[in-house]
Amino acid sequence: MSGYFSKKFALSERGGKDLTKAIFWCTLSNISLMFSMGVLFLFMEWLLAPLTGGTRPGLGLGGYMAISIALLALLYVLTYLQYNATFVASYTESADIRIRTAEKLRMLPLSFFGQRDLADLTTAIMADTASIEKAFSHFIPELIGAVLSTLLVGIGLLAMDFRMGLAVLWVVPVSFFLAVGTRPLVDRMERRQKDKKIAASDRIQEYIENIQDIKANNQCENYLEGLDQKLTEVESVTIRLELFNGTLVTAAQMFLKVGMATTVLAGASLLAAGEISFMLFLMFMLASTRIYQPLGGCLQNLSAVYSTLLVVERMKSIEEQPVQTGAKEAEFQGYDIVFDHVGFSYQKGEQVLKDISFTAKQGEVTALVGPSGGGKSTSAKLAARFWDIERGRITLGGADISTVDPEVLLKNFSIVFQDVVLFNNTIMENIRLGRKDASDEEVMEAARAAQCEEFIRRLPDGYQTKIGENGSQLSGGERQRLSIARALLKDAPVILMDEATASLDVENETMVQRAISALVKDKTVLIIAHRMRTVAGADRIVVLKDGYVAEQGKPADLMEKKNGIYRHMANLQSRSQNWSLGA
């Protein structure tokens, strides 16, 4: 049973066992509440015995008081066990789900993040996990426990008197049919609400991230109108969903109350006909008041259970994603990168790389150039196994990178891209990300080599200055130099650089180039640049166009090719340097 729950609700093995225990204790707790009805029935039978001409059993008033106290103690113990099995266990499982999801995301290829909306993933990790936590602490164990306890108590009632049992129980399946039969419609409305919420979250995030451009183009009012529309759509679909759920739940709960009326009518009829005793009629009346209470609460939470099942479906879609695997240890014979007839596409039918073959040798700088969309950045990222190729082979030091665990592989790479990623932490810790066990002196040495010392000295707290979200307190050149300092500290044998100086002014570019010179010494360097003067000193040029290697060779050799792509690009850029506003 626990294995079924683990698979059904995307729980860990322990979570499945804890849910089974929670259901058991909820069921037992519900049944124990019927014990009080039994004790009350027996006590009234004892109390009324002289009036009916019978004799009182020898248990006595003290005996019933002792049973009542023992029953209260039992109820306390069962409630305590139920609490631990539902609330405490669900909180533990919630923490495990968050950690497990984060670990899963860590192992997924970057192609997954390109296909999934980031707001959707954030919702899955935070809001969806909180929903699961609430469902397993409040709704699901109580729902299943109520159904099981009702079945067990119902069997007992039918065994005592089939007619009275039917009078009490016939409303239960009808009420559940009202709630369960409409699930497909509720699911559609829940999915629509979730989509609307994600769309609104995307719009808010987009507004915050691009507020500078939006204000610069006087589009705040138009953009906020669109955001208001998204929020209105969320409000509208939520109101309709709540109204629909409320109507169904109220109707189902009201129908349960009809069972009390049929119990009275059937009991009175049988009692008048002399077919049942007054005490049996009274017992069924007491049972009907008790049996409907947990079911009414469960019907109220049934829509929350439906919502949870949709959340579980989203969580399972993440857990079922294939991960990148490989050997935890790898031997590299040097650090040459070889692309051997590589083909790759981000989406089926849209080939980005069609047939790429080249070698980036250790100790040399290999530059990837060519028109936009030719596959330069894609090739660099494939070399580090950000994605897995569809055809061909990429090797590092003779080892096929598809057979190496991505984290093991990336230990050999230092990456400096145009879009620098920094954290809202100190300068020291942002650089130390390159090697977490580095000493402060090693961090400062890397910063000096990356030409960072000059601007760090100007900061209020030096290396301990917090730089804001993604380094918002620094200029583009300063952020870029920090990323190079991080790469220097890591001191990996392979360097990937993608447009590392493209957005810098002349002074910053000169400083960054000095830092790069210290970084690339004796390494395997794969660099991407659109400025031909940036790659003029490269050992080898690989020109990519339309997913193929159009040209490759030394810069001087490629400049001698008459109709060559590299020569054409170099000449165009040379001419553009002489352009002026008055031209």
**Averaged pLDDT, 70-98:** 82
**Quick one: which of 246, 238, 15, 244 has its CA closest to 140?**
15
CA pair distance 274, 253, nearest whole angstrom: 32
Strands 524-528 and 365-369: parallel
Residue 338 pLDDT exceeds 80: yes
357 CB burial (10 A radius; 0-12, 13-18, 19+): middle
Residue 337's pLDDT is 95
Please state which of the four CATH numbers 3.40.50.970, 1.10.4010.10, 1.20.1560.10, 1.10.1740.10 is assigned to the domain occupying 2-319.
1.20.1560.10
106-115, 258-267, 379-388: range with lowest mean pLDDT: 106-115
Residue 175 pLDDT exceeds 90: no
Q: For residue 574, which phi and psi values (nearest 5 degrees)?
A: -65, -40
pLDDT single digits (tens) 306-331: 777 777 877 787 888 888 888 888 88
Residue 13 pLDDT exceeds 90: no
69-78, 474-483, 525-534: range with lowest mean pLDDT: 525-534
67-76, 146-155, 366-375, 498-507: range with lowest mean pLDDT: 498-507
Q: For residue 325, which phi and psi values (nearest 5 degrees)?
A: -120, 170
Residue 112's pLDDT is 77
Which carries the bigger pLDDT value, residue 397 or residue 218?
Answer: 397
Residue 70's pLDDT is 84
Q: Which residue has tokens 């954030």?
A: 122
DSSP lists the bridge partners of residue 552 as: 542
Question: Could you tell me if 492 and 412 are in contact, meaning their C-beta atoms sit under 8 angstroms apart?
Answer: yes
Residue 582 pLDDT exceeds 60: no
Residues comprising the chain, all counted: 583
Residue 310's pLDDT is 75
* Token output for 423: 């954290």
Q: What does the CA dihedral 415, 419, 421, 422 come to, rounded to 10 degrees? A: 110
Q: With left for phi above 0 and alpha for psi between -120 and 50, is residue 375 left, alpha or beta? A: left
Q: With left for phi above 0 and alpha for psi between -120 and 50, is residue 227 left, alpha or beta? A: alpha
DSSP lists the bridge partners of residue 544 as: 549
DSSP lists the bridge partners of residue 396 as: 337, 399
Residue 27 pLDDT exceeds 90: no
Residue 56 pLDDT exceeds 70: no
* Token output for 61: 């008033």
End-to-end CA distance of the chain: 80
**Cβ density class 301-329: b for 16+ within 10 Å, e for less:** bbbbbbbbebbbebbeebeeeeebebeee
Residue 90's pLDDT is 81
9-13, 57-61, 569-573: range with lowest mean pLDDT: 57-61
**Helix 183-209 vs helix 278-319: crossing angle, to nearest 10:** 40
Question: Could you tell me if 110 and 78 are in contact, meaning their C-beta atoms sit under 8 angstroms apart?
Answer: no
Q: How far is CA 217 from CA 99, 212, 227, in A?
A: 42, 9, 17
**Averaged pLDDT, 161-169:** 89
Q: Which residue has tokens 């994605």?
A: 387
CA pair distance 296, 302, nearest whole angstrom: 10
CATH no., domain 337-411+530-576: 3.40.50.300
CA pair distance 494, 526, nearest whole angstrom: 8
**Averaged pLDDT, 126-150:** 80
Which carries the bigger pLDDT value, residue 228 or residue 294?
Answer: 228
CA pair distance 330, 287, nearest whole angstrom: 69
**DSSP H or E stretch at residue 553:** strand 548-553
Question: Could you tell me if 29 and 78 are in contact, meaning their C-beta atoms sit under 8 angstroms apart?
Answer: yes
**Averaged pLDDT, 344-361:** 87
**Quick one: which of 397, 433, 401 has its CA closest to 524?**
397
Residue 230 pLDDT exceeds 50: yes
Whether 337-411+530-576 and 2-319 are alike in CATH topology: the answer is no
DSSP SS3 for 434: coil
Residue 51's pLDDT is 64
Question: Could you tell me if 178 and 92 are in contact, meaning their C-beta atoms sit under 8 angstroms apart?
Answer: no
pLDDT single digits (tens) 397-455: 999 999 999 889 989 998 888 778 888 899 999 999 999 999 999 999 888 888 888 88
* Domain range summary for the chain, segments of one domain joined by +: 2-319, 337-411+530-576
Q: With left for phi above 0 and alpha for psi between -120 and 50, is residue 423 left, alpha or beta? A: beta
Residue 32's pLDDT is 79
Residue 583's pLDDT is 47
Residue 87's pLDDT is 81
**Other Cβ atoms closer than 10 A to 149:** 22
Residue 89's pLDDT is 80
Mean pLDDT for the chain overall: 82
**Quick one: which of 390, 381, 412, 398 has its CA closest to 338?**
398
